[in-house]
Amino acid sequence: MYYLRKKPLLDLPGELTAIWSCIKDGCNGWTRDNFVFIRPATCIQCGNPTEKSEKMQSNVDNTSPDQTKW
């Protein structure tokens, strides 16, 4: 039987998303893991290496085009 891991929206402030975040101090560039085709990814802003991380992504922010704000 197909099981959807669906959590109740009420106690779900956001979704933990796998990302690659820039290792450079002062740079907040990051890319979603499912947008990365070559691993490890390089920073889209400065070209430095990135490291695997996780980001709590608010559900209401999902449609925001500004991905660099934390």
| Rounded least distance, CB 68 to Zn ion, Å | 10
| Rounded least distance, CB 64 to Zn ion, Å | 20
Binding mask 18-57 for Zn ion (x = CB under 5 A): ----x-x--x-x-------------x-xx-x---------
Cβ contact 60:13 at 8 Å: no
| Count of positions on this chain that bind Zn ion (CB under 5 A) | 8
Cβ contact 29:22 at 8 Å: yes
